[in-house]
Chains A and B, each alone.
Chain A
Amino acid sequence: MIDHKNRSFRRRHWRDRVFRRVAVGCVGFALLALLTLLSSLIAQGWGAFVSYSVEIQAQDIPPNLPSSDRAAVVAIITSFLQTPVTSKQDVIRLFGADAGSQLVAWLKQPQGPLRLRLSDDADMVLKHSYQDSPLKPEQRKILNDLRDLGVVRQHFNITFFTSGDSREPELVGIYSALVGSLLTLATAFVMAFPIGVMTAIYLTEYAKPSAWRTWVEININNLAAVPSIVFGLLGLSLFIQFLGWPRSTPLVGGAVLALIILPTLVIATTAALKSVPTSIRMAALAMGASKTQMVFHHVVPYSIPGIMTGSILSMAHILGETAPLLLIGMVAFIVDVPGGITEAATTLPVQIFLWSESPERAFAEKTAGAILVLLVFLLIMNAVAIVLRHRHQKTWS
């Protein structure tokens, strides 16, 4: 008897240990995968946040500059170099497309040193010093000379966060895409939240159990499993072709994303409402509250943390959504910050998609950098959801 118990005891312990090891192994694997992803993204994407400029003190700028801005840039640079430059084009090639306008702006208001942005090719050589650069040897020589002179400065690439898309990799930024994402998400939230929450309140609190209610609930669950691209097709034919809303805009994008999160929102809200125990409902009714008072004084307020968590998670879900937005034409080339939800816009993941298709080497780091920014936003949203859930977890007596 004792022996038998001992044996079963040992077996149970053994199972316990095996299970624990498998679980730890799984968690370890997941962490490792995450770490690999993050470190490779950071390795590829750090360059997006760093850029190079040539910095020249005011007193070092020669007088009597030529009137053309490009020629002026060349004049300034050549005044520094020991060896004469054979072709002006070699100097121009090293500087960003906006170096001329940077000079013009500085000349108007000469404060601090003059900064001239380097071109993406020069930038790449400085960051990675790779051999198959499109820069010619003489161009690389000029760049090296400038570096030896100590006028090349590395700095935080603020442009990446303040400008929109561009043909020139050194000038691109995610700001337009971020604003587009914000407008699109806000539109989706405003459209989906009231409908989703009201639907859930009606279904869980008011609708009598019936075949009809079961049917609706099943279909909401089914909708949550529909691939998002299908919603993109629906949006294309419904909002753009039938209703005639302007394509490529946050209005249409938001409407499509609203359709995508609607079922998730209903499910999350339903779960939050159902977690309010019967005893609390009974307490409210026994105090003489009407059904609607019970729902809106008690059940809904106590569910708010759950509803918020669900909303934030669904926002995080659609922040990364790309395919349905491609279908409704949010792939436009957007330089300017969209001024409203009826103006053409792009979103962060679509911007990432667009850059990832660009052949220039400099776009690769921009792509990875934008992905990092997207991940940071997702992490923040998830963290907020977790904090909300913990902070406001109700204890029911």
Chain B
Amino acid sequence: MDKKMEAHAVSVFYGQTQALYDISLTIPARHVTALIGPSGCGKSTFLRCLNRMNDVVEDCVVRGSILLDGQNIYAPSVDTVMLRARVGMVFQKPNPFPKSIFDNVAYGPRIHGMAKTKADLEEIVVESLKRAGLWQEVKDRLHTEGTSLSGGQQQRLCIARSIAISPEVILMDEPCSALDPIATAKIEELIDDLKANYTIIIVTHSMQQAARVSQTTAFFHMGKMIEVGPTDVLFTNPKNERTQGYITGRFG
């Protein structure tokens, strides 16, 4: 199995407080990796390290190294703009731009100069909306505001937006936490389809969701990574007792 990303001894500090301790984790390519753990254990923090969104958080210091295809993304020569074009992100709360559906999806291709002509751009937008499973619902109203969609549609729009720039890795921070079971099922299906082409890392609070969509699961607790392994093994036969406690619902 290829390694897409590798974290080596990553520690993160918010000012004086340390949020992550020596995390080392390998993310396999074209694979869904789930990050689980109780609230405040540092899952989002770790996710933000992978596309350097922590750079914009005040007083946040990241130590250690993270490799993307063998290259350290924290090397001084790395441009965060380029990095984020390769590592996309979907947030917990849907956050479409207050622009049309079309412009939401077209934004990334536009700023990265991915489309030479208008037709190219339209093709990218349509293709992304189709892959995000939203095309059927919005094809007649591409020029209405993205914010006028329902929550689940907005989240799929955000996914369409992030896959429009053909990232290699997609980070998802609890993408279904604001959605109902039907919308959640749609997004899970989507994740399943996407893993053929993309490497996906998803933070989730739902064990069932982790079990359904991921192949690898990492369990975080109080800023440390306690256990990582194939999802079926981790859920049926956890080695660490804290993992066992968490997945059986005894704490967290």
Contacts and interface: CB of A to CB of B under 8 A. Distances in A.
Interface of A: 209, 277, 279-280, 282-290, 293, 297-298, 302, 394-397
A287 B98 contact: no
A286 B93 contact: no
Contacts of B51: 286
Contacts of B97: 280, 283-284, 298
A287 B95 contact: no
B141 interface: no
Nearest to B82: A288
Contacts of B56: 282, 285
B29 to A, nearest CB: 21
Interface of B: 51, 53, 56, 58, 81-85, 88-89, 91, 93-98, 107-108, 111-112, 145, 147-148, 154, 158, 161-162, 165
A289 B110 CA distance: 10
Contact of A397 (B53, B84, B93, B165): B93
Contact of B53 (A280, A282, A290, A394): A282
Nearest to A208: B58
- 7 A-B pairs closest in CB distance: A286-B89, A288-B85, A279-B95, A288-B84, A283-B95, A287-B108, A394-B98
A297 B111 contact: yes
A289 B147 contact: no
A114 to B, nearest CB: 62
Contacts of A280: 95, 97-98
Given A396-B147, A397-B147, A288 B95 contact: no
A151 to B, nearest CB: 64
Given A395-B98, A397-B154, A289 B111 contact: yes
A285 B83 CA distance: 11
Given A280-B95, A285-B56, A287-B162, 10 more contacts: A282-B56, A285-B53, A286-B91, A287-B84, A288-B81, A288-B108, A297-B107, A395-B147, A397-B93, A397-B147
Contacts of A286: 51, 53, 84, 88-89, 91, 162
B94 to A, nearest CB: 5
A106 B58 CA distance: 79
A277 B91 CA distance: 14
Contact of A287 (B82, B145, B147, B165): B165
